């Protein structure tokens, strides 16, 4: 266990966790919603510090980040636990593991051993080891991903500071529930973030994700204000969030912040507790791309399908192909130092 830095002490040995927007009030021996931040004797501890449940070396495009060091590799890691409960989660086996364990131990009246049990779900992988792998492998960035990174804040915070010293960049793949305190602490070290804007319906967020839309919208605005590179993803689920009206609301919201923010509209496939919905049709994604462009967004991409036309980056001014993509095959063609070679248009992103 590792003492948290994002919490405040309350009366009666209770604490309030300030890592995410749930702001869980946690009694002795209990954990917050995520199941990995536990109150022990009036102090809050992160139970998964140094415990990676999953790690890989991925293409940066897999996050997806299309305007962030394209064509490079990224060291990706995550732990168990999540502060959402999305019924369509594709990483449910690790994201929901701590919650299921928590329920089991509460039934057995053994919440105090949560730390011991949770630690069995991860591999020992210290911040120093992660950075060393990246230095030796010449991997230019680290992604905190697979589950919601904010719940293992202290682990990623220490890692990101070490990485920063070695000129290695840090990115989040997030559900957008970071607290302002967490984002302010991360500002010097966080170079990019892809936030899931899962819907523009509060009912969707409350029923399907156990969260609130307004907090995600606040986070997106905060990230942009802090100057952290931002891309947004919407997993398009047939019958749930794929109406023209909802897609237009999402696109208009993003466009209202900055038309340069890339929007990824990705195909859904049935998983976890949502096996009754259909796989997203290509035509639906093409519709979403058109809606995004009509809203003024300069960079809209279709994801989770192979579609070179709608995966590639084009210059918004002269329409030249700048980065050609087919799946994870990436060719940089007419982009140099963040500018279109053909017309000298500045292309928003992190290019070096």
Mean pLDDT over all residues of the chain?
Answer: 95
Sheet of 321-326: strands edge to edge? Answer: 313-314, 321-326, 329-332
Reference 311, options 62, 139, 58; nearest CA is 62
Asked if residue 148 has pLDDT above 90, the reply is yes
Asked if residue 121 has pLDDT above 90, the reply is no
Enter the tokens of residue 141.
């960035």
d(CA 274, CA 217): 24
Residue 52 — pLDDT band, cuts 50, 70, 90?
Answer: very high
Residue 99 — pLDDT band, cuts 50, 70, 90?
Answer: confident
Reference 348, options 3, 118, 68, 133; nearest CA is 68
Return the residue matching tokens 């084009």.
314
d(CA 141, CA 167): 9
Residue 6 — pLDDT band, cuts 50, 70, 90?
Answer: very high
pLDDT at 261: 98
The residues, ordered by sequence, that sit 6+ positions from 320 with a Cβ below 8 Å of its Cβ are 314, 333, 334, 340, 341, 342, 343
Domain boundaries, the chain: 2-46, 51-340
Reference 143, options 160, 128, 120, 164; nearest CA is 160
Cα 72 off chain centre by: 18
Residue 115 — pLDDT band, cuts 50, 70, 90?
Answer: confident
Asked if residue 197 has pLDDT above 80, the reply is yes
Can you list the pairs that 245-249 forms with residues at least 24 positions away whose Cβ atoms lie under 8 Å? Answer: 246/199, 246/200, 246/201, 247/287, 247/288, 247/291, 247/292, 248/291, 248/295, 249/200
Query: For 49-58, 66-75, 101-110, 301-310, which range has the lowest pLDDT when averaged over its residues?
Result: 101-110
Asked if residue 119 has pLDDT above 80, the reply is no
- Which one is the CATH code of 51-340: 3.40.640.10, 3.30.300.30, 3.40.50.300, 3.20.20.70? 3.20.20.70
**Mean pLDDT on 319-335:** 96
**Mean pLDDT on 9-18:** 97
The residues, ordered by sequence, that sit 6+ positions from 296 with a Cβ below 8 Å of its Cβ are 255, 259
Enter the tokens of residue 209.
């994700």
d(CA 110, CA 118): 13
Asked if residue 153 has pLDDT above 90, the reply is yes
Residue 122 — pLDDT band, cuts 50, 70, 90?
Answer: confident
Residue 55 — pLDDT band, cuts 50, 70, 90?
Answer: very high
**Mean pLDDT on 4-32:** 97
Enter the tokens of residue 132.
């060393």
Residue 100 — pLDDT band, cuts 50, 70, 90?
Answer: confident
pLDDT digits (tens, 9 = 90+) for 202-259: 999 999 999 999 999 999 999 999 999 999 999 999 999 999 999 999 999 999 999 9
């Amino acid at each position: 266990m590792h003492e948290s830095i994002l919490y405040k002490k309350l009366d009666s040995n209770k604490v309030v966790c300030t890592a995410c927007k749930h702001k869980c009030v946690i009694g002795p021996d209990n954990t917050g919603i995520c199941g990995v931040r536990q109150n022990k004797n009036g102090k809050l501890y992160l139970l998964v510090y140094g415990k990676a449940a999953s790690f890989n070396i991925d293409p940066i495009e897999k996050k997806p980040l299309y305007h962030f060091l394209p064509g490079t590799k990224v060291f990706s890691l995550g732990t168990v636990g999540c502060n959402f409960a999305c019924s369509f989660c594709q990483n449910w086996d690790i994201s929901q593991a701590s919650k299921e364990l928590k329920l089991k131990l509460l039934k057995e009246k053994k919440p105090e051993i949560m730390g011991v049990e949770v630690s069995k779900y991860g591999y020992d992988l210290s911040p120093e080891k992660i950075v060393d792998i990246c230095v030796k492998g010449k991997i230019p960035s680290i992604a905190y991903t697979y589950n919601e990174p904010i719940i293992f804040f202290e682990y990623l915070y220490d890692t990101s500071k070490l990485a920063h010293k070695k000129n290695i960049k840090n990115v989040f793949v997030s559900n957008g529930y970071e607290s302002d305190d967490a984002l302010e602490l991360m500002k010097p070290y966080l170079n990019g973030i892809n936030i899931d804007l899962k819907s523009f319906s509060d009912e969707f967020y409350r029923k399907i994700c156990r969260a609130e839309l307004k907090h995600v919208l606040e986070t997106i605005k905060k990230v942009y204000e802090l100057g952290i590179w931002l891309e947004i993803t919407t997993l398009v689920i047939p019958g749930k969030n794929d109406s023209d009206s909802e897609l237009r609301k999402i696109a208009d919201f993003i466009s209202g912040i900055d038309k340069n923010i890339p929007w990824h509209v990705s195909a859904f496939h049935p998983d976890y507790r949502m096996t009754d919905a259909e796989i997203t049709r290509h035509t639906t994604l093409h519709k979403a791309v058109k809606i995004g462009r009509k809203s003024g967004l300069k960079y809209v991409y279709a994801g989770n399908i192979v579609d070179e036309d709608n995966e590639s980056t084009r210059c918004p001014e002269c329409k030249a192909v700048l980065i050609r993509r087919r799946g994870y095959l990436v060719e940089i063609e007419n982009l140099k130092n963040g500018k279109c070679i053909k017309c000298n248009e500045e292309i928003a992103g992190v290019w070096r």
